[in-house]
Amino acid sequence: MKQPVSTGAVNRFKDIFKGDRKFYHAVFVLVLPIIVQNAITHFVNLLDNIMIGQVGTPQMSGVAIANQLILRLPCFLLGETS
């Protein structure tokens, strides 16, 4: 009997990323605060856009430009420090 395609893909994924569970747990513990911080930053930017959207178009454009700069700054700093 032929196996479903998804089972083969899952097995290939497990074969490629086989490793020590302690290592993956340590990486996840390190990455989780970064994920949370990025989610909070994006949520605050979304709230800024919603609140300023009530005021007018020029103000909305200014907030959108500032949000783009705020989101690019950590990427730039990470590249400079690496």
* Residue found under tokens 């420090």: 81
Q: What is the pTM of this model?
A: 0.59
pLDDT value, residue 29:
93
pLDDT (tens digit per residue) in 2-42: 555 567 777 787 777 777 778 888 889 999 998 998 899 88
| CA dist., res. 46 & res. 64, Å (int) | 10
The residue type of 80 is E
Q: Is the pLDDT of residue 55 over 60?
A: yes
Check: CB of residue 71 under 8 Å from CB of residue 41. Answer: yes
* Residue found under tokens 């990470």: 78
66: alpha, beta or left, given left = phi > 0 and alpha = psi -120 to 50?
A: alpha
Q: Report which of 71, 53, 73, 72 is spatially closest to residue 61, judged by C-alpha positions.
A: 53
